Amino acid sequence: MPIIDNAVYAAGRRIHDPDSLDETYELMRENDGMAWIGLYRPDAEEIRSVEQEFDLHHLAVEDALTGHQRAKLERYGDTLFLVLRPARYLDKEEEVEFGELHVFVGPGFVVTIRHAESPDLARVRRRLEGNSELLALGPEAVLYAIVDEVVDEYGPVLAGLENDIDEIEQQLFGGDPNVSKRIYDLLGEVMEFQRAVHPLTSMLEALLRGSEKYKVDLELQRGLRDVLDHVLQIVGRADSFRATLQNALTVHSTLATQRQNDEMRRISEASLELAEDTRKLSETSIQQGEEVKKISGWAAILFAPSLIAAIYGMNFDHMPELHWLFGYPLAILAMLLLAFILYAVFKRNKWL
């Protein structure tokens, strides 16, 4: 149902609960009272109806129809148009949900168009209906109460964000691999929160500047100043949250770099140890190769005389030079000469 609450007030009291917008307009004129119409995601027909009745500016109406507006305050003649960005903290999801509230305030009427669950405008009505003196001050009192409610609802959001940021510190130094994503998500929420609250400062200052011109009650001016003080505190805390998260990103980057450096140092040390083991193994292999060459060289030197001795040691009757007088000394000489030649060759090739 687009029309959430619809009432006509006179002298600070609720006097009628109309069943339709047309009845609201009629009763408002008959009683010279104030109409407060609360709409929730209305269709174009309801918005066009209040546009025609209260002569709302078409640009403001287009903003209300399309939504997705930044927080702002605009004045069209005697009519104020406000866009507020309420927020609420969702404990289960640990996220901030942002809404959008459009408020038209003019002589004898207040129209609120809500596009999200927050803020709780029913609580604002109950508060004002329980304070007839404040409600008797007219549409400006309703505007003040709405802005005050939106600002008050920022309190739990700040508490939730602060708690999340405190948890970030534990994750940051605990080595949680998902901490960077959470920091970025929180930073995005804080920046969105800043976009919601920062414009309120200039909006409230503009309302206070126009208070005398539009004869706003002194108590309402004091109330608006109090809300402005709260907004300035909220803005300061939001700015500090953003600075803290940006510092957390810097620390996370530093810690990640340090961990990478430590890992690279360990890899380098392991590589050096492996290189040292490889060098030692190579030296051992070289030494073994040298020993093998020496053994092979001496084996070859000993093999040549053994070959000659083996040939002439065979017991055959008919062998050349077997009964020759110089056969034995020549065989010995051949053995020694062949061994010497092999020794010289191996020595020149550094095998021995």
243: domain CATH number?
3.30.460.20
Share of the chain above pLDDT 90, in %: 49
In the predicted structure, residue 202 carries a pLDDT above the cut 70: yes
Residue pLDDT, tens place only, 232-282? 999 999 999 999 988 888 887 777 777 778 788 888 888 888 878 778 887
Q: Which residue has the higher pLDDT, 307 or 275?
A: 275
Structure tokens, 196: 């919601």
Residue 282 covered by a domain: no
**By residue range, what is the domain housing residue 111?**
3-260
| Domain assignment present for 246 | yes
The reported pLDDT for the residue numbered 169 is 77
Q: Is the model's pLDDT at 143 over the cut of 70? A: yes
User: Ranked by mean pLDDT, which of 184-198, 262-276, 327-341 comes out on top?
Assistant: 184-198
pLDDT band at 312 (very low <50, low <70, confident <90, very high): low
Stretch 271-294: mean pLDDT, rounded? 76
Q: Cα separation of 141 and 103, whole Å?
A: 13
- Quote the CA–CA distance of 324 and 171 in Å, as a whole number: 102
Domain assignment of residue 155, yes or no? yes
268 domain-assigned: no
Among 102-106, 288-292, 297-301, the range of highest mean pLDDT: 102-106
Residue 96 included in any domain: yes
Number of domains making up the chain: 1
pLDDT for residue 272: 82
Q: What is the mean pLDDT of the chain?
A: 86
Q: Is the pLDDT of residue 316 over 60?
A: no
Q: How many CB atoms lie within 10 A of CB 336?
A: 12
Compare 27 and 171 and report the one with higher pLDDT.
Answer: 27
For residue range 8-33, list pLDDT tens digits in order. 999 999 999 998 999 999 999 999 99
> What pLDDT is attached to residue 250?
84
Q: So what's the pLDDT on residue 65?
A: 87
Per-residue pLDDT band at 117 (split at 50, 70, 90)? confident
SS (HEC) of the chain: CCEEEEEEEECCEEEECCCCHHHHHHHHHHHCCEEEEEEECCCHHHHHHHHHHHCCCHHHHHHHHHCCCCCEEEEECCEEEEEECCEEEECCCCEEEECCEEEEEECCEEEEEECCCCCCHHHHHHHHHCCHHHHCCCHHHHHHHHHHHHHHHHHHHHHHHHHHHHHHHHHHHHCCCCHHHHHHHHHHHHHHHHHHHHHHHHHHHHHHHCCCCCCCCHHHHHHHHHHHHHHHHHHHHHHHHHHHHHHHHHHHHHHHHHHHHHHHHHHHHHHHHHHHHHHHHHHHHHHHHHHHHHHHHHHHHHHHHHHHHHHHCCCCCCCCCCCCCCHHHHHHHHHHHHHHHHHHHHHHCCCC
Considering the domain boundaries, does residue 333 fall inside one?
Answer: no
Q: Worst-scoring range by mean pLDDT, 103-117, 148-162, 176-190? A: 176-190
Residue 315 domain-assigned (yes or no): no
Query: What pLDDT shows up at residue 331?
Result: 73
Residue 183 has a pLDDT of: 87
Reply yes or no on whether the pLDDT at 100 is more than 80.
yes
Q: Which of the two residues, 192 and 297, has the higher pLDDT score?
A: 192
